[in-house]
Structure 1
Amino acid sequence: MNTTARLPYPELAPEAFRALVGVNTALNKSTLGKKLLDLVHLRVSQINGCAYCVDLHARDLLAQGEDLQRLNSLITWREVSFFSARERAALNWAESLTLIRETQAPDADYAALAEHFNDREVAELTVAAAQMSTWNRIGVGLRLPVQAAPLRP
C-alpha cells in the first residue's frame, strides 16, 4: 500500500508526459465517446492491476452518470446483460489487446468489431487500449497513490 509516488514523472520527463496527454486529448475527440473510452480504460486498468487508474476511471464514469451496477459489474461484463453489443465488442477487443501474450489478438476478436465500428474507430479503440496499458505501467511502476475518498455519482 503506497501513499506517495516513487518519482514525480511529469516533472522529470515533461515532454514524454505531454505527448502521452496529447494522445488522450486526440482520443477524446474521436466518435467513440468518452463513456465508451472510460469503460475500456477502466477494464484495461482492472486487468493490469493499476489501482490509481481504476479509481480515476471509475470516478470519471460516475461523473458521467454511469450506473453503479454496471460499473461494479464491468469486471464480469461477459456474464451480465448490462452492456450493449457495441460496448461488448469494444471490451472484448480491449481485453484481447491487453492480454496479447495469451490471445495474440485473434481474427475473430478483430472481426467482431466490424459490426459496430468503422475502420477509424477500430484504430482509435486499438490506440486507446494500448495507451491505457502505457498509463497503467506508469501507475503501477511508479506506485501512483490512490487517495481515500468516497465514490459518488
Structure 2
Amino acid sequence: MSTSAKPTVDKQSTNAYRAMLGVEKALTQGSIEKPLRELIHLRVSQINGCAFCIDMHWKDARAAGESEQRLYGLSAWRESPYYSERERAGLLLAEELTRVADRSIPEEVHEAARESFNDQEISDLAWTVSAINAWNRVNIALRTVPGNYQPPGAPKN
C-alpha cells in the first residue's frame, strides 16, 4: 500500500467508527471533567506510543486552556507538583488500566481512586481509559499520520 493510500480511521470500518464517536459523546456528558479527560487521553497515548493521539490530545488540551507546563510534565506527573490529588488518582488508575495485561492492579490503586472518585466517576474513568486505548490501537494499526489535526474551532493553518 502506498503512503498516499493509507486507510484513515473515519473512512474504514465506518460503523465501528460511528459507535466509538457515540462512546466519546457519552463520555463528554459523563462525570469526569474535560481537563482530566484530556490529561488521561494524552498520558495513555504516551504510554501506548500513539503519535496521532498525542498530537490530537495535546492540541485539544491546549485549546481547552491547559498549560504547557502541565503538558510537558505529564510523563513525570508523580514528581511534578502541578497536579491535584484527584488528577493524580485518575492518572494512576489510567496507567494501571492501560498496563493491565502486564500485571494486576494493586489494591492501593483502587483505594486511591475511591478516595478521589465516587462509583459513577470510577466507571466513567474506566470507560475513558478503555476508549482512548481503543483509539490508540486503531490509529497505530492504520498508521494514522500525526500533525494535521486541528481542534474544532481552531483557525486553519
TM (norm. structure 2) is 0.88
Query: Is 1:50 aligned to residue 50 of structure 2?
Result: yes
Give, in whole Å, the separation in 2 of the partners of 1:118 and 1:58.
Answer: 27
Partner residue, 1:117: 117
Q: Which amino acid aligns with 1:35?
A: P
Q: Deviations over 1:94-141 (max 9, x none)?
A: 000011122312221111111111101100100110111100001111
Give, in whole Å, the separation in 2 of the partners of 1:124 and 1:113.
Answer: 12
Aligned length: 149
Return the offset for 1:12: 3.0
Q: Which amino acid aligns with 2:119?
A: D
Secondary structure (helix, strand or coil) at the match of 1:122 reads: helix
Give, in whole Å, the separation in 1 of the partners of 2:5 and 2:104.
Answer: 33
- Contiguous gaps of at least 5 residues in structure 1: none
Give, in whole Å, the separation in 2 of the partners of 1:106 and 1:50.
Answer: 26
Secondary structure (helix, strand or coil) at the match of 1:10 reads: coil
Q: Which amino acid aligns with 1:135?
A: W
Partner residue, 1:99: 99
Indicate conservation of the 8 Å contact 2:86/2:116, yes or no.
yes
Q: Which amino acid aligns with 1:8?
A: T
Which of structure 1's runs of 4+ aligned residues deviate more than 6 A? none
Give, in whole Å, the separation in 1 of the partners of 2:4 and 2:27.
Answer: 29
Indicate conservation of the 8 Å contact 1:37/1:128, yes or no.
yes
Query: Is 1:11 aligned to residue 35 of structure 2?
Result: no
Return the offset for 1:4: 5.2
Q: RMSD of the alignment, in Å?
A: 2.0
Give, in whole Å, the separation in 1 of the partners of 2:60 and 2:128.
Answer: 16
Indicate conservation of the 8 Å contact 1:5/1:145, yes or no.
no
Secondary structure (helix, strand or coil) at the match of 1:103 reads: coil
Give, in whole Å, the separation in 1 of the partners of 2:139 and 2:47.
Answer: 13
Indicate conservation of the 8 Å contact 2:36/2:87, yes or no.
yes
Return the offset for 1:9: 3.9
Secondary structure (helix, strand or coil) at the match of 1:121 reads: helix
- Contiguous gaps of at least 5 residues in structure 2: none
Q: Which amino acid aligns with 1:62?
A: R
Secondary structure (helix, strand or coil) at the match of 1:19 reads: helix
Query: Is 1:143 aligned to residue 112 of structure 2?
Result: no
Return the offset for 1:5: 7.0
TM (norm. structure 1) is 0.90
